Structure 1
Amino acid sequence: MRKSAFAYGLLATAAFSAPVWANDDVAKLSSDPNNWAQQSGDYAGTRYSTLDQINTENVGQLKVAWTFSTGVLRGHEGGPLVIGDTMYLHSAFPNIVFALNLADEQKIIWKYTPKQDPSVIPVMCCDTVNRGVQYAEGKIFLHQADTALVALDAKTGKELWKVIDGDPKKGETGTGAPLVTKDKVIIGISGAEFGVRCHVTAYDINSGKKVWRAYSMGPDSDILVDPEKTLSLGKPVGKDSSLKTWNGDQWKIGGGS
């Protein structure tokens, strides 16, 4: 089976269950309800916690225990992660990342402030939001607005590696939360409304090296589809089936982010 099956099958199945492709460290942490190691809560994408301290009988009595401001007055999407006594949270552009010590009055352990060109803001759709960071094997992964994917040391906030996934000058931006599977971190690109030819890309979690990239449209070699094993109504889709759904070369200028 070609890696194309992973490129397209993963995103379709991860919302239900993907234990074969799970990163062992993330899966183990996610199995402990005291942690919140993924934006989705677990690899099944349930976003459900089994903790029962808050229930239907006392939820009406909830009060603010403490607050923390990121200092960014724009839309915030994506929740914080909790690993042990540490909470990791992020902001909208410029995508500041904080590590807070929950065992010591939520004091800031470290703060990471990316240096991004503000010219990316006009090409960001739907405010300057970011859907959250991801944790795996002692690293925090951040997909910045300018498309940079950054790996930070979870204990110190030190930048371990950084790669550029796209080009904001073409309308490409980064707003999604990374997804970690096995030894890879996977991200998508935003910008279809600007005629961007979108893609999903996997990077090695230890080195940042690009492992594969699958485009949303184009020839089989670009979208990583096997035309004989990919079926439509029980029959192989045939060579370069994606090109047949576009007029001329329109597949080159966007869609499907």
Structure 2
Amino acid sequence: MPRFARNDESRRILLLAGTSEARALAERIAAEARDEAIASLAGRTSAPIALALPTRIGGFGGVEGLKRYLVDERITHVIDATHPFAAQISANAQAACAALALPLVVYAREPWRPMAEDRWIEVDSNLEAVHALGGAPRRVFLTIGRQGVADFRGAPQHEYLLRVIEPPEASDLPPKCEVMSARGPFTRTDEIALMREKRIDVVVSKNSGGALTYAKIEAARELGLPVVMIQPPPRGGVAVAYRIDAVMALLAS
């Protein structure tokens, strides 16, 4: 496991990564070379894209494990740039930093906002999304990643197109489910063509924000399709930044 040099004059940053925004932030931190920093990935993807910082892979062992790591590595600042729906690590980071009185900055994607032409049904969980699909059979474009797919087994009457980077366990899939392995970004034109080819009736998406997967929302808007939009969990009272410059300013404050 990477370890920091013992230089008390520099900041020692732990970057909780796993998003394209985290990769860009890692490049900025590495380029400025003012801070010692290490990135951390959960290890859920077998072939993650390399980061510009030394990287550890794997969990910390809950709040207590994260606290031990922060103390052992003499971390002075933590940046949470994980996926907006990575609720557990975000909660653990908030608890560990509060216990150790360490500054924590959340670098988040700005959530998508519905436009006048959008037909969004906003829900707070996968189970609410399942309910929102209704009882009549529909062709569902399921774009929530592989976590939580098993919840949709509770609505087996629908036909699902599940798009993921890596497939989930077969036992997690609804009975009528086509799995499509692909990594974004996707274009609006391609998303429209896909939805037409698969005769999609409704899109289920997490409101993960950012530009990487927004094309599916644009495509649904153009095709007049409803979108069941799962809202991200609350961030609590942590400082949130939506731009790299804002993150760097918060670190310096």
TM-score bin, normalised by smaller chain: under 0.3
- If the length of structure 1 is used for normalisation, what is the TM-score? 0.24
**Larger helix proportion, structure 1 or 2?**
2
Which of the pair has the greater relative contact order for Cα pairs under 8 Å at 6+ separation? 2
